[in-house]
Amino acid sequence: MNALNLKRLGPGAAILVAAAVVPSIVPRFYTYILAVILITALLAMSLNMVVGHGGLYQFHHGVFYGVGAYTVALMLTKTPLPWWVGFVAGPFTAALMGFLIGLFCVRLNRLYFGMIQISLGSLIWALTFRWYGLTGGDDGIHGIPVPDVLSGVTRSYYVILIVFSVCLFFLYRIYRSPFGTTLRAIRDNPERCAAIGINVRRHQLFAIVIATFFAGVAGVLFVVVEQSVFPDLMFWVLSLEIMIMCLLGGWFTFSGPILGAALMVSLRTFAGVYTEYWTLILGVILILLIFFLPEGIMGYLSTKRKQKNGRRTVE
Amino acid sequence: MVGLSRAMILFIVSSGMSLVLGVLRVPNIAHGSLYMIGAFSAFSISTLLGGGNAGFWLALFLAPLVVALVSFIVERALFCHLYEREHLMLLLFTFALMLILGDLVKLFWGADYRSIMAPPLLQGSIRILGSPFPKYNIFLLIIGPLVAVGLWLFTNKTKIGKISRAAAVDMEMVGAIGINVSWVFAFTFVLGCFLAGLGGALVSPTISITLGMDHDIIMEAFLIVAIGGLGNMWGALVGSLIFGLTQSLGVLFWPQFAIVFPYAAVVIALTWRPRGILKSVW
Amino acid sequence: MLRVENVSKQFDGFKAVNGANLSVEKGEIVAVIGPNGAGKTTLFNLISGQLKPDSGKITFLGEEITALPPHRICKKGIARSFQIANIFHRLTVFRNIQVAVLSQKNRNLNLTSPSDRFFIEETRAILESVGLADKHGEIAGALSHGDRRVLEIAIALGNEPRLLILDEPTAGMSPEETAGTIALIKRLAETRGLTILFCEHDMDVVFGVSHEIMVMEQGRTLIQGTPEAVKNDPDVQRAYLGTE
Q: What 3 state SS string does chain C have?
A: CEEEEEEEEEECCEEEEEEEEEEECCCCEEEEECCCCCCHHHHHHHHHCCCCCCEEEEEECCEECCCCCHHHHHHCCEEEECCCCCCCCCCEHHHHHHHHHHHHCCCCCCCCCCHHHCCHHHHHHHHHHHCCHHHCCCEHHHCCHHHHHHHHHHHHHCCCCCEEEEECCCCCCCHHHHHHHHHHHHHHHHHCCCEEEEECCCHHHHHHHCCEEEEEECCEEEEEECHHHHHHCHHHHHHHHCCC
Q: In this structure, what are the phi and psi dihedrals at residue B208, rounded to the nearest 5 degrees? A: -90, 135
Residue A196 to residue B31: CA distance in whole angstroms: 41
How far A50 CA lies from chain B's nearest CA (Å)?
13
Buried b (16+ CB within 10 A) or exposed e, C148-177: bbbbbbbbbbbbbbbbbbbbbbbbebeeeb
Candidates C113, C91, C96; CA nearest to A174 is: C113
Instruction: Give the count of beta carbons closer than 10 Å to the beta carbon of residue C124.
Output: 15
pLDDT digits (tens, 9 = 90+) for C131-184: 777 888 888 888 888 888 888 888 888 888 888 888 888 877 888 888 888 888
B16 neighbors B194 (Cβ within 8 angstroms) = yes
Residue A158 to residue A153: CA distance in whole angstroms: 9
Residue A105 to residue A113: CA distance in whole angstroms: 5
CB contact under 8 Å between C90 and A193, yes or no, is no
Q: Is the dihedral of CA B183, B188, B193, B199 positive or negative?
A: positive
- Computed on alpha carbons and rounded to an integer, the radius of gyration of chain B in Å comes to 18
Q: Does A8 contact C at CB distance below 8 Å?
A: no
Candidates A150, A125, A122; CA nearest to A140 is: A125
Last residue of a domain, one of C143, C160, C177: C160
Predicted confidence at residue B52, as pLDDT, reads 67
Residue B227 to residue A157: CA distance in whole angstroms: 44
- Assess whether C139 and C187 both reside in one domain: no
* Sequence-separated contacts (24+) of C231-238 with Cβ below 8 Å: C231/C207
pLDDT band at A209 (very low <50, low <70, confident <90, very high): very high
Q: What is the mean pLDDT of each run of 10 residues along chain C (244 residues)?
A: 85 82 86 83 88 87 86 87 83 88 82 80 82 82 84 85 85 82 83 85 82 85 83 76 51
How far C107 CA lies from chain A's nearest CA (Å)?
7
Predicted confidence at residue A150, as pLDDT, reads 73
Predicted confidence at residue A71, as pLDDT, reads 92
Chain A CB contacts of B270 under 8 Å are 104, 115-116, 119
Q: Answer yes or no: is pLDDT of A287 > 80.
A: yes
* Chain C residue at shortest CA distance from A252: C90
CB contact under 8 Å between C92 and A314, yes or no, is yes
Query: Does A have 3 or more CB contacts under 8 Å with B?
Result: yes
- Assess whether C35 and C51 both reside in one domain: yes
What is the DSSP track for A89-133?
Answer: HHHHHHHHHHHHHHHHHTTS-HHHHHHHHHHHHHHHHHHHHH-HH
Chain C CB contacts of A179 under 8 Å are 108-111
Residue A22 to residue C240: CA distance in whole angstroms: 78
Chain C CB contacts of A210 under 8 Å are 111
Residue B243 to residue C55: CA distance in whole angstroms: 41
Instruction: Give the count of beta carbons closer than 10 Å to the beta carbon of residue A9.
Output: 12
Mention every residue, 6+ apart, whose C-beta is less than 8 A from residue A295.
A250, A251, A252, A303
pLDDT digits (tens, 9 = 90+) for A98-128: 999 898 888 877 777 888 888 888 888 888 8
Last residue of a domain, one of C160, C183, C205: C160
A161 neighbors A38 (Cβ within 8 angstroms) = yes
Predicted confidence at residue C241, as pLDDT, reads 57
pLDDT band at A40 (very low <50, low <70, confident <90, very high): very high
Residue A43 to residue A38: CA distance in whole angstroms: 9
Predicted confidence at residue A167, as pLDDT, reads 92
CB contact under 8 Å between A203 and C102, yes or no, is no
H or E stretch covering A134 = helix A132-135
Predicted confidence at residue C242, as pLDDT, reads 54
Predicted confidence at residue A5, as pLDDT, reads 54
| Residues of the domain holding C213 | 1-77+161-244
Interface test mutation site (partner A, options B88, B89, B109, max chain A beta carbons within 10 A): B88
Query: Does C have 3 or more CB contacts under 8 Å with B?
Result: no
Residue B184 to residue B161: CA distance in whole angstroms: 9
Q: Does A1 contact C at CB distance below 8 Å?
A: yes
pLDDT digits (tens, 9 = 90+) for A174-200: 998 889 989 999 988 888 888 888 888
CB contact under 8 Å between B27 and A247, yes or no, is no
A167 neighbors A42 (Cβ within 8 angstroms) = yes
A37 neighbors A261 (Cβ within 8 angstroms) = yes
pLDDT band at A1 (very low <50, low <70, confident <90, very high): very low
H or E stretch covering A184 = helix A178-188
Strands of C14-24's sheet in order across: C14-24, C2-11, C55-60, C63-64
- Computed on alpha carbons and rounded to an integer, the radius of gyration of chain C in Å comes to 18
User: What is the count of structural domains for chain C?
Assistant: 2
- Amino acid (one-letter) located at B247: Q
133-172 in chain B: CB under 8 A from chain A? none
Question: β-pairing, C55-60 with C29-33?
Answer: unpaired
Buried b (16+ CB within 10 A) or exposed e, B128-163: eeeeebbebbbbbbebbeebbeebeebbeeeeebeb
The residues of C whose Cβ lies within 8 A of any Cβ of A are 48-50, 69-71, 74-75, 79-80, 82, 86-92, 95-96, 98-100, 102-104, 107-116, 118, 137-139, 142, 155-156, 158-159
Q: Answer yes or no: is pLDDT of A206 > 50.
A: yes
CB contact under 8 Å between A286 and B96, yes or no, is yes
Give the residues of chain B that fall short of pLDDT 70.
1-2, 51-52, 168-173, 175-176, 178, 274, 277, 279-282
Q: Does B73 contact A at CB distance below 8 Å?
A: no
Residue C205 to residue C209: CA distance in whole angstroms: 6
Residue C213 to residue C166: CA distance in whole angstroms: 14
How far A202 CA lies from chain C's nearest CA (Å)?
10
Of C71, C110, C114, the CB nearest to A194: C71
Predicted confidence at residue A314, as pLDDT, reads 43
Residue B87 to residue B74: CA distance in whole angstroms: 18
Q: Give the pLDDT mean for A22-32.
A: 80
A257 neighbors A48 (Cβ within 8 angstroms) = yes
How far A5 CA lies from chain B's nearest CA (Å)?
33
Mention every residue, 6+ apart, whose C-beta is less than 8 A from residue B142.
none
CB contact under 8 Å between C108 and A188, yes or no, is no
How far B154 CA lies from chain A's nearest CA (Å)?
27
Query: Does C have 3 or more CB contacts under 8 Å with A?
Result: yes
Mention every residue, 6+ apart, whose C-beta is less than 8 A from residue A294.
A247, B85, B86, B89
Beta bridge partners of A189: none
Predicted confidence at residue A312, as pLDDT, reads 44
Q: Answer yes or no: is pLDDT of A211 > 80.
A: yes
Q: ipTM of this predicted complex?
A: 0.83
Of A174, A198, A252, the CB nearest to C111: A174
Mention every residue, 6+ apart, whose C-beta is less than 8 A from residue B90.
B24, B25, B26, B79, B82, B83
A·B CB contacts under 8 A: 115
CB contact under 8 Å between B274 and A116, yes or no, is yes
CB contact under 8 Å between C156 and A179, yes or no, is no
Q: Please, how many CA atoms are within 13 Å of residue B85, restricted to the half-sphere of its CB? A: 18
Interface test mutation site (partner C, options A181, A186, A252, A306, max chain C beta carbons within 10 A): A181
Q: Answer yes or no: is pLDDT of A149 > 80.
A: no
CB contact under 8 Å between A185 and C155, yes or no, is no
Between the two ends of chain A, the Cα-to-Cα distance in Å is 17
* Chain A residue at shortest CA distance from C101: A196
The mean pLDDT value of chain A amounts to: 84
Q: Chains contacting C with at least 3 CB pairs below 8 Å? A: A
CA angle B201, B206, B208 (to 5 degrees): 85
Mention every residue, 6+ apart, whose C-beta is less than 8 A from residue B97.
A283, A287, B29, B30, B33, B74
Last residue of a domain, one of C115, C132, C160: C160
Q: Where are the domains of chain A?
A: 2-235
Q: Give the pLDDT mean for A35-39.
A: 90
Residue C231 to residue C74: CA distance in whole angstroms: 33
Q: Does A53 contact C at CB distance below 8 Å?
A: no
A163 neighbors A84 (Cβ within 8 angstroms) = no
- Assess whether C20 and C127 both reside in one domain: no
How far B166 CA lies from chain A's nearest CA (Å)?
20
- Assess whether C171 and C242 both reside in one domain: yes
- Assess whether C134 and C190 both reside in one domain: no
CB contact under 8 Å between A177 and C70, yes or no, is no
C92 neighbors A209 (Cβ within 8 angstroms) = no
3-class SS of residue B125: strand
Residue A213 to residue A61: CA distance in whole angstroms: 11
B224 neighbors B16 (Cβ within 8 angstroms) = no
**What CATH code is carried by the domain that includes residue C15?**
3.40.50.300
How far B38 CA lies from chain A's nearest CA (Å)?
19
C106 neighbors A199 (Cβ within 8 angstroms) = no
Predicted confidence at residue C130, as pLDDT, reads 79
Q: In this structure, what are the phi and psi dihedrals at residue A32, rounded to the nearest 5 degrees? A: -60, -45
Q: Chains contacting A with at least 3 CB pairs below 8 Å? A: B, C
Mention every residue, 6+ apart, whose C-beta is less than 8 A from residue B177.
none
Q: Please, how many CA atoms are within 13 Å of residue B167, restricted to the half-sphere of its CB? A: 27
- Count how many residues are written for chain C: 244
- Count how many residues are written for chain A: 315
Predicted confidence at residue A313, as pLDDT, reads 45
